[in-house]
Amino acid sequence: MRYYFKTICGRRETNQDSCLAEKIADDLYIFAVADGMGGNVGGERASKLAVEELHIMALSQANNIVLGNLTLKEFLRKAVEKIDKEIRVDWEHNPNFKGMGTTLTAVIVLENTMAWVNIGDSRFYCHFDNCKTFEQKTKDHSLSMQMLENNPDTSMEELMKSDNVITRVLSGMGDEADIYPKDKNFLEIPKNMTGIICSDGLILNKFEQPAYLDAFFSSTNAIVPFVEKSVAHAFENGSNDNISMCVFSNVLKENTLLSKFKMQFANK
């Protein structure tokens, strides 16, 4: 499995996104993106806490997962519950941070199987060898998506007004995360698979297929330029948020490993 991630401030003053991509044990990997909220300091604090707790739990439960004593979905459920509790403990001890929270989209891979979790509006996309485009594998927890589900004819203008209103986050208040796949314990990974986890800053229009991701994927066979081109495209075409993209693949070449936690890059 090859993997690479990048996160940039973009047009914001600080980066409230955090990323995680690591091989935890033989054939066991964890990947995640968290997008914080609650002010510059609070958002950064919440997202960093989320990926750090996820990393700690993955390390501590690695043997149980590999031996089959803990399923991938059970691990993810326990992880988001623990993260939510830790965020609450943090703001209870630091009242100035009350109201902070974070999205979290994470994928755990064991050998040729995977499961994933999502809360908020960060996303997980997959490309399989029989697909022409990246397919979104998560559902946004946002007011605009609720509006669209209730009324498919809702105008784009109305949807855009509610685009940044998130209905579920990890904030210490017990919001429920979605754990996938819904109908089984894991998804078997095809021979040719590429996954993208991203914050909403990478997606220029949440109501359309991000065709630029498909185009960059088709035009390169290497993981690093795929990520670099995609992040640069989002920034250059008007994204006004932090931009984070974590890619893992058994197709794309180049195994460039970055740090366990957040890597911030200066604005261009």
Query: Would you state the torsion angle of the CA atoms of residues 232, 248, 140, 18, taken in this order, to the nearest 10 degrees?
Result: -70
Phi, psi dihedral angles at 204 (to 5 degrees): -75, -30
**Would you say 17 and 34 are in contact if contact means Cβ atoms under 8 Å apart?**
yes
Q: What pLDDT is stored for residue 261 in this prediction? A: 40
Q: What pLDDT is stored for residue 162 in this prediction? A: 82
Cβ contacts of 131 within 8 Å, gap of 6 or more: none
User: What average pLDDT values come out for the chain (268 residues) when binned by 10 residues?
Assistant: 95 96 96 91 94 98 97 98 97 93 98 98 93 94 92 88 90 97 95 96 95 95 95 97 97 59 35
Phi, psi dihedral angles at 242 (to 5 degrees): -60, 150
For 227-263, the three-class secondary structure string (H helix, E strand, C coil) is HHHHHHHHHHCCCCCCEEEEEEECCCECCCCCCCCCC
Task: Quote the tokens at residue 69.
Answer: 């004593």
Q: What pLDDT is stored for residue 161 in this prediction? A: 83
Q: What pLDDT is stored for residue 163 in this prediction? A: 81
Question: Is CATH 2.40.50.200 what the domain over 2-249 is classified as, yes or no?
Answer: no
The gap from C-alpha 218 to its chain's centroid, in whole angstroms, comes to 22
Query: Would you state the torsion angle of the CA atoms of residues 54, 58, 61, 67, taken in this order, to the nearest 10 degrees?
Result: 140
Q: What pLDDT is stored for residue 253 in this prediction? A: 86
User: Which DSSP letter does residue 222 get?
Assistant: B
